[in-house]
Amino acid sequence: MMANHSHGTVEGPDDGGASGGRADRILLAHGDGGLLTANLVEEVFLPYLGGQQSEKLLDAAVIQPKGCGRLALTTDSFVVKPVFFPGGDIGSLAVHGTVNDLAAVGARPVAITAGFILEEGLDLDTLVAVVRSMGQAAATAGVRVVAGDTKVVERDAADQLFINTTGLGEVLPQADLAFAHIAPGDRVLVTGTVGDHGVAVVSRRRGLAFDTPVRSDSAPLFDLVAPVLEEVPGVKFLRDPTRGGLATTLKEIALSAGVEIVIDEERIPVNDAVRGACDILGLDPLYLANEGKMLLVVAPEAVAPTLQRLRRHPLGATAAEIGVVQAWAGKGELWLRTPLGGTKRLDRLAGEQLPRIC
């Protein structure tokens, strides 16, 4: 009856209640956006939901109803803890996360829906503050919240509140983004510093105060990337490095595009405060979630005009070229060139680094 699962291909880390490397229960790491999340998608969701089309269950799907241009549809649930953190809250994050998934397929956000799951006893002031923040974030992002739903569960059946946002967007006619376009020689760009969101949330969660407080980078990115898509030929692929961080996202791109990627550690922008906090907390900024950054893969001749346009926008002021695409050598590897000239293999996040980061 459960053939897929009984073949036991969902791998668990050794320490996670798994027997023989195999998980028969959901682990926190299944939600961290890394290797186990990918396994869950490939081995549970795709077989039953991807269905006959054997399509990839993407974060944002591009569909084309009769008579329409290309539309993008994307969904995300938000369970971030704590609900309020420096630079944002679960409400603004829910808007930004979803409009950024639309931006990653080149889509202008048109409408979002909001589904709330509330814990009995939730302070109404908390809900009001979150909903108001959500409304402000939607207005700033130029998107309307068109439909909603609220469920309430008993005390201790949820932790305060969870929000699902689903976004509908119109794909820019100029956007032509696909894994298949990525080719050796292409360059990897990032629109700014990495790790800020992860550090902001975990610092607040653990009650840590740093001399220079780190704020989440949570922000809507369509206006940042639209001029690039509209004006620069040779833009091949976009993705926002959220859960799992820059490293996991680039490793997934390498695997899906059938290429290798080499990034330069020195060229990856990281705020000093984030670097300091990571040292103290034992975290790696390359694996921390970002909520206001985009990775771009572009043809070599597109690097200069892309950086120029990105840097015109406040959210792209520290945009940088950080790596290069190389030919597939059999494994879709992601390599990190260190300042001392060494080269280190990077894999997807494996085992939870930080649960409930978004």
Hey, which residues between 1 and 20 contact a copy of itself (CB under 8 A)?
1-2, 4-5, 10, 17
319-329 burial, b at 16+ Cβ within 10 Å, e below that, comes to bbbbbbbbeee
Q: How far apart are the first and last CA of the chain?
A: 34
According to the binding rule CB under 8 A, does residue 132 interact with a copy of itself? yes
According to the binding rule CB under 8 A, does residue 342 interact with a copy of itself? no
According to the binding rule CB under 8 A, does residue 156 interact with a copy of itself? yes
**Shortest reach from residue 213's CB to a copy of itself, in Å:** 21
According to the binding rule CB under 8 A, does residue 138 interact with a copy of itself? yes
According to the binding rule CB under 8 A, does residue 187 interact with a copy of itself? no
Between 80 and 189, CB nearer to a copy of itself? 80
According to the binding rule CB under 8 A, does residue 147 interact with a copy of itself? yes
According to the binding rule CB under 8 A, does residue 217 interact with a copy of itself? no
Taking contact as CB under 8 A, which single stretch among the options 138-146, 188-196, 219-227, 263-271 is the one that binds a copy of itself?
A: 138-146
Neighbours of 233 (CB within 10 A): 11
Indicate the pairing of strand 71-78 with strand 161-171.
antiparallel
> Which residues 109-128 are close enough to bind a copy of itself by CB under 8 A?
110-111, 113-125, 127-128
Among 40, 83, 228, 298, binds a copy of itself (CB under 8 A): 40
Size of the site for a copy of itself (CB under 8 A): 92
Q: How far apart are CA 260 and CA 64, in angstroms?
A: 32
Closest by Cα among 332, 302, 327 to 183: 327
Contact between 289 and 229 (Cβ < 8 Å): no
> Which residues 285-304 are close enough to bind a copy of itself by CB under 8 A?
none
Q: Identify residue 30 by its one-letter amino acid code.
A: H
Q: How far apart are CA 255 and CA 262, in angstroms?
A: 13
> Which residues 54-83 are close enough to bind a copy of itself by CB under 8 A?
57-61, 63, 65-69, 71, 73-79, 81
Indicate the pairing of strand 295-298 with strand 235-239.
antiparallel
According to the binding rule CB under 8 A, does residue 233 interact with a copy of itself? no
Between 91 and 269, CB nearer to a copy of itself? 91
Contact between 270 and 195 (Cβ < 8 Å): yes
Closest by Cα among 234, 231, 245 to 297: 234
**Shortest reach from residue 275's CB to a copy of itself, in Å:** 28
**Shortest reach from residue 91's CB to a copy of itself, in Å:** 9
Closest by Cα among 306, 177, 307 to 238: 177
3-state secondary structure of 110: strand
According to the binding rule CB under 8 A, does residue 129 interact with a copy of itself? yes
According to the binding rule CB under 8 A, does residue 102 interact with a copy of itself? no
According to the binding rule CB under 8 A, does residue 178 interact with a copy of itself? no
